[in-house]
A = this chain, B = another copy of it.
Amino acid sequence: MPDAHRPATLIALDWGTSSLRAYLLDDAGGVRDHRESPHGIRALPEGGFPAAFAEAVHGWPEALPVLMSGMIGARSGWREAPYAEIGPQGVGPEELAADLTDIADLTGRPAWIVPGVAARGPSGPDVMRGEETQVVGAGLSGGTVALPGTHSKWVEIREGRIAGFRTSMTGELYAALSRHTILADTLSPPADAAEDAAGFAEGLAAARALEAPGDLLGAFFSIRARALFAELSPGSTGPFLSGLLIGAEIAANAGADSGPVRLIANAALAARYATALTAWGRESQTLPPDIAAAGLHALARAARLTGDAT
């Protein structure tokens, strides 16, 4: 619980594609007030960015610095923020804090956007916006942090720095396959938790049986064939597809170390990934919510936007 006697020192905005979360933080990072709206950068209200911003910070002290992370800094956001490139020594919070994009002229308040992070690996470039701040909020102890979702991120932390990461288009592919392909004719919601769990487990088993990368293209169609032959009930096809995709994602990304994977996700999705990680022999821990607020607080202090709570 925040201490009511501590002063508010920062407004932190976690501004993504489909939601905007705003936090009024005290000098120790305690949350004094918070708001959530659906006004992500793809779902802005009339009045656009300024209107969404004004609603998010309404009534909070105007003199406070505002720090934002997420897709708000994308090319299609309010102002494009650069990417911090992962070099041989990775990227740490100091580099992120040193490269904030000033957006005061657009907000009418002292305000900045955190840079995204770019990696250039052998399999092509990769980018994140917002996840770097969540990872900072999670604490940069070593190991793997997974941020499952529309575009799942697997982040490797070494020596207090982001050493590398990879993105999987898992959640978005699930949505596209289940709504816009022949599988849409097959899928129906699971009748109960048992059907859901059984379908998910079968999907994980199918993921383990994949050999060539292109086998995934066959596995998608096999869901249709399994349903035709009643090897899958209509209600278990969605969980099967979920298990197939999450299993393939984990097999491709969870091999780097053998410690527990720290998961940043809502409870339902984190539970799915924890189950899948167990099937691959990996432990996991699910991190508490409001992790972006903690990351923005840490970056604001590193950038000396706020005073130290000493």
Contacts and interface: CB of A to CB of B under 8 A. Distances in A.
A166 interface: yes
Contacts of A124: 206, 219, 222, 225-226, 231
A58 interface: no
Main secondary structure of the interface of A (DSSP, over half): helix
Given A211-B213, A251-B213, A75 B218 contact: no
A245 interface: yes
A45 to B, nearest CB: 21
Given A182-B151, A225-B124, A229-B125, A212 B213 contact: yes
Copies of this chain present: 2
A122 B231 contact: no
A252 interface: yes
Interface in A159-203: 166-170, 172-173, 175-177, 179-182, 185
Interface residues on chain A, size class: 35 or more
Contact of A151 (B177, B180, B209, B221): B221
By CB atoms of chain B within 10 A, which of A213, A249, A251 has the most? A213
A217 B170 contact: yes
A169 B125 contact: no
A253 interface: yes
A207 interface: yes
A125 B231 contact: yes
A64 interface: no
B169 A217 contact: yes
Nearest to A184: B176
B228 A125 contact: yes
B127 A225 contact: yes
Given A181-B173, A207-B213, A249-B214, A222 B126 contact: yes
Given A123-B209, A125-B222, A214-B253, 17 more contacts: A123-B215, A123-B222, A124-B225, A124-B226, A125-B226, A125-B229, A127-B225, A168-B214, A169-B221, A173-B177, A180-B180, A213-B213, A213-B215, A213-B216, A213-B248, A214-B251, A217-B248
27 contacts: A123-B219, A124-B231, A125-B228, A125-B229, A126-B218, A126-B221, A127-B224, A127-B225, A127-B228, A166-B218, A167-B225, A168-B214, A168-B221, A169-B220, A172-B181, A172-B182, A173-B177, A176-B176, A211-B213, A212-B248, A213-B251, A214-B247, A214-B251, A214-B252, A214-B253, A216-B248, A217-B245
